[in-house]
Structure 1
Amino acid sequence: MASSTGTTLDIEARYAWAKSVAQQAAQMGMEFYQQRNDLTVEHKGDDRQDVVSIADKQIEAFIRAQLSEHFPEDGFLGEESGSADLNARCVWVIDPIDGTACFVNGLHNWCVSVGLLVDGEPYLGAIADPNHRELFHGCKGSGAFVNDTPLAVSQARHVREGLTGTGTFHPRGKEHFIPFLQKLLEAGGMFIRNGSGALMTAYVAAGRLIGYYETQLKSWDCVAGLVLVTEAGGRVNDFFRNDGLLDGNPYLVAGPGVYDQLAELIGPSLDG
């Protein structure tokens, strides 16, 4: 339960719904994925890498309809259909398919991300990866899990002790991304980019990655994952500053032993 403003919320019901709807949406996504050659794919604006398919739109519509039925008083922010009631105490932040470019190109690095803000703070989340039959989920104060296994971040003390997730879009890529990669490699680290910010965040929570840095991430890619990382013992940057909910921000999540080192490699742009 949550009652910081005097109104009791049924967090358990919302947590159960998040896990259920994420899994249902992921199965919908898998049906589209298996017929992806027949999908209509559009490019967003002038960015040839940022794509949306009919699957994204239909899955988000499904989640939004389910939300209206179960928690009509809650707000909503989705990647494809925009926002509603952002002043509500509970706001769901949804990415129907995170990793759409991977999805439409036959790569298994995509998922459904369902996160909940309560009083503006990440409170619970579910990330469903149907290709690997994994449901990452967590709730504030109750821990984080993959399926039924508890999650714990890496205990690495130096970037050379594991893999760091990375990502960028072109506007910040040349200015911040390449310098970071150069410094990471010079420090003996290694990087991976799998195309899904939600999955890479979940992998940090699971200790599979020691950290994950993105030059500019959107909230629907990370609200669910932020809960997982903090509940698994990790550290996160101040993502929501300067209206990060709507505009996005630079993003860093990591195990406590390497967070400061990664932040130093990134430099002032992380919190600028």
Structure 2
Amino acid sequence: MSNEVASLSARYRFACALAEAGGKLAHTFYLQRETLQPDHKGSDLQDVVSVADREVESFFRARIADAFPEDGFLGEESGSADAGKRMLWVVDPIDGTSCFLNGLHTWCVSLALVADGEPVIGVVYDPNHHELFHALKGHGAWLNNGALQPHAAATVAAGVMGVGTSHRVSSADFLPFLDALLQHGGMFVRNGSGALMSAWAAAGRLIGYYEPHMNPWDALPGIVLMREAGGHTNDYLADAGIARGNPVLIASKHLYPQLKQWVKQPLP
């Protein structure tokens, strides 16, 4: 085993264990969510954050710094540290904070590792259902100990599509996709956590996932999971995606071309 492979394998094992530990910490806050005082990020009342998000991210950041001090870090709540390093951890401590604060089970923790500009590790942990979705480039994608593969649907009418949106984009960026999906007999679901829905798509529970703009800490885990499950994704990190975010489209290799036709903005 080369040093590079061993290095990534060690980080992969660490990422899986860290996601579970961080998820358990987040779940302790979830059980006492009535005591939390949420804040809003800027003027968007839908974009909330709580002490739970900050504490879990601090936990991740400290653990990563101890284990791999040479690596960089990019977190939703605390920003970046040494983001130019060749190994960059990208972290969302709680994706789906609104769901978390309102007692809905559709939230998760998500971790990704970007190595030399390429996403190579993706981990999503759902502590409410004890489900760990994890993937390492070249080693497949897994839910706990079972291998993942995309939905076998031949048409969008044969399954449910995951979608997401935010006030960072206009309805004109999003609604044409929904209109085309419905016109072709499809149906959709939005659960409040793009990272979790992306993991569900890689697991074949959904036929795919589309969002007109995602931040890297939400997008990258699902990108790795879907690619390693055997599906297809857009090139999320193109055009400075790590800095400004990008659209996300992931699906089986069969459905991806059709879904791409319905996306209004160009996909990198």
Q: Which runs of 5+ in 2 are unaligned?
A: none
**Secondary structure of 1:172 counterpart:** coil
Shifted more, 153-162 versus 206-215: the winner is 153-162
Cα distance in structure 2, aligned partners of 1:104 and 1:166:
21
List per-residue Cα deviations over 1:68-92 (Å, max 9, x = no partner).
1000000110000000112211100
What value does the CA root-mean-square deviation take over the aligned residues?
1.4
**Secondary structure of 1:10 counterpart:** helix
State the shift of 1:171 in Å.
Answer: 4.1
Give the aligned partner of residue 175 of structure 2: 178
Alpha carbons of structure 1 residues 115 and 2: separation in structure 2 relative to 1, 3 Å = farther
State the shift of 1:271 in Å.
Answer: 2.1
Cα distance in structure 1, aligned partners of 2:224 and 2:258:
22
Give the aligned partner of residue 59 of structure 1: 56
Aligned pairs for 1:130-169 (under 5 A) are 130-169=127-166
**Correspondence 1:238 to 2:214:** no
Alpha carbons of structure 1 residues 238 and 2: separation in structure 2 relative to 1, 3 Å = farther
Give the aligned partner of residue 9 of structure 2: 12
List per-residue Cα deviations over 1:224-250 (Å, max 9, x = no partner).
221110000110012112211011011
Cα distance in structure 2, aligned partners of 1:139 and 1:222:
15
State the shift of 1:266 in Å.
Answer: 1.4
Cα distance in structure 2, aligned partners of 1:124 and 1:171:
27
Q: Which amino acid aligns with 1:95?
A: D
List per-residue Cα deviations over 1:197-244 (Å, max 9, x = no partner).
111110111001111000110000021221110000110012112211
* Count of residues in correspondence between the two structures: 268
Cα distance in structure 2, aligned partners of 1:175 and 1:152:
32
Give the aligned partner of residue 117 of structure 1: 114
Aligned pairs for 1:62-73 (under 5 A) are 62-73=59-70
Cα distance in structure 1, aligned partners of 2:132 and 2:5:
27
State the shift of 1:9 in Å.
Answer: 5.7
Does the 8 Å contact 2:168/2:213 carry over to 1?
Answer: no
- Which of 234, 251, 256 aligns to 1:254? It is 251
Cα distance in structure 2, aligned partners of 1:77 and 1:191:
31
Give the aligned partner of residue 225 of structure 1: 222
Give the aligned partner of residue 271 of structure 1: 267
Cα distance in structure 2, aligned partners of 1:265 and 1:23:
36
Moved over 4 A (4+): none
Q: Which runs of 5+ in 1 are unaligned?
A: none
Scaled by the length of structure 1, what TM-score is found? 0.95
Does the 8 Å contact 1:127/1:199 carry over to 2?
Answer: yes
**Secondary structure of 2:23 counterpart:** helix
Among the aligned pairs, what percent are the same residue? 51
State the shift of 1:2 in Å.
Answer: 6.7
Give the aligned partner of residue 208 of structure 2: 211
Shifted more, 246-255 versus 174-183: the winner is 174-183
Scaled by the length of structure 2, what TM-score is found? 0.97
List per-residue Cα deviations over 1:121-141 (Å, max 9, x = no partner).
011121110111100001011
- Which of 27, 31, 34 aligns to 1:30? It is 27
Q: Which amino acid aligns with 2:88?
A: V
